């Protein structure tokens, strides 16, 4: 079945370590996105990519990095520069590059910094 796969579902990290969250989609979507979700707040956009080898910063890109070497993959690295990385991270994709297209979300990755 087509969909978006995120891994790992749970991840624990020590302070000072970088971690990479995986996001793979087989929906043949051009656009992919990373969001951060914190309790009581709306999803916030970290990075997005509308085509391969191109990506744009969202509202809270500091301390994060991404790559888009393949259409199907959009990994997110949470670096040690991210001051408060404990959160639920959601990857999404859309067929259209504009907001008329539906966003399809993965199941999320919960990162906890010890």
Partner 1 sequence: KNQVEQSPQSLIILEGKNCTLQCNYTVSPFSNLRWYKQDTGRGPVSLTIMTFSENTKSNGRYTATLDADTKQSSLHITASQLSDSASYICVVSGGTSYDKVIFGPGTSLSVIP
Contacts 24+ apart (CB under 8 A), 39-45: 43/90
CA distance 48 to 46: 7
Smallest distance from partner 1 to CB 104, Å: 8
Report 60-89 residues binding partner 1 (CB under 8 A): none
Dihedral class, residue 96 (left if φ above 0, else alpha if ψ from -120 to 50, else beta): beta
The only residue of 42, 54, 83, 114 in contact with partner 1, by rule CB under 8 A: 42
**Residue 53 contacts residue 69 (beta carbons within 8 Å):** yes
The only residue of 48, 55, 64, 74 in contact with partner 1, by rule CB under 8 A: 48
Smallest distance from partner 1 to CB 15, Å: 24
Residues lying near partner 1 in the complex (CB under 8 A) are found at 4, 31, 33, 35, 40-45, 48, 56, 58-59, 90, 92, 94, 97-100, 102-103, 105-108, 110
């Amino acid at each position: 079945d087509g969909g978006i796969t995120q891994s790992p579902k749970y991840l624990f990290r020590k302070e000072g370590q970088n971690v990479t969250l995986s996001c793979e989609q087989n929906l043949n979507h051009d656009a992919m996105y990373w969001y951060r979700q914190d309790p009581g707040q709306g999803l916030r956009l970290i990075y997005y990519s509308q085509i391969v080898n191109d990506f744009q910063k969202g509202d809270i890109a500091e301390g994060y990095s991404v790559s888009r070497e393949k259409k199907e993959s959009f990994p997110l690295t949470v670096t040690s520069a991210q001051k408060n990385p404990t959160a639920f991270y959601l990857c999404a994709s859309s067929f259209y590059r504009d907001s008329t297209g539906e966003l399809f979300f993965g199941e999320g990755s919960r990162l906890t910094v010890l």
